[in-house]
Amino acid sequence: MNKYILSVLVENHSGVLSKISGLFSRRSYNIHSLTVGVTEDPDISRMTIVVIGDEQMLEQINKQLNKLIDVIKVTVLEPNNSIYRELALVKVSINQGNQSRIIETANVFRGNIVSMGTESITIEVTGDEGKICEFIDLMKTYGIKEIVRTGLAALERA
């Protein structure tokens, strides 16, 4: 099974996300990650959809997406010709003994401390999926209270 990243330009109006997610669910394809936002043109949104499967599944998804009226363009992003980023907020338990190590680790990963209390600290980390996973793995030793991840945002390189 391979991971594929699709960049899908769609018309920016209500119901489009529902149509696209319905297309995936009707065919029993799982969306691994989905990020949607308006583009430089307020009438167009970009969906970054990550799917895991084989080339036949990718071909079917591509054909089905291109049949939808609201879809403007579908691009399969190639890893060596694209930029991928994700954002994660990680809330970690702190105490007097681990606080400075957690802050040092966040600094190594160029993380931003967005909230700190007496029992927890929340760190924002941005980067590729590998960097995010590595940071989360290191924070597990301190006790993760909560995690939220945005999903992948991706563009083709210039």
Q: What is the pLDDT of residues 30-41, one digit of tens each?
A: 999 999 999 999
Is 83-156 in the same CATH topology as 2-77? Answer: yes
CA pair distance 94, 53, nearest whole angstrom = 39
The pLDDT value recorded for residue 36 is 96
pLDDT higher than threshold 90 for residue 18: yes
Confirm if 120 and 151 have CB atoms less than 8 A apart. Answer: no
Mean pLDDT, rounded, for 53-64? 95
The pLDDT value recorded for residue 75 is 97
- Asked if CATH classification 3.30.70.1150 holds for the domain at 83-156, the reply, yes or no, is yes
| Tokens 């999926």 found at | 129
Task: Measure the N-to-C terminal CA separation of the chain; round to a whole number of Å.
Answer: 29
DSSP structure class, residue 4: E
Helix (H) or strand (E) holding 127: strand 120-127
**Mean of per-residue pLDDT scores for the chain:** 95
Q: Which CATH superfamily is 2-77 part of?
A: ACT domain (3.30.70.260)
Encoded amino acid at 120, one letter: S
Question: 158: pLDDT confidence band, cut at 50, 70 and 90?
Answer: confident
Domain ranges of the chain: 2-77, 83-156
72-129 pLDDT, tens digit each: 999 999 989 999 999 999 999 999 999 999 999 999 999 999 999 999 999 999 999 9
Helix (H) or strand (E) holding 129: helix 129-140
CA pair distance 88, 86, nearest whole angstrom = 7
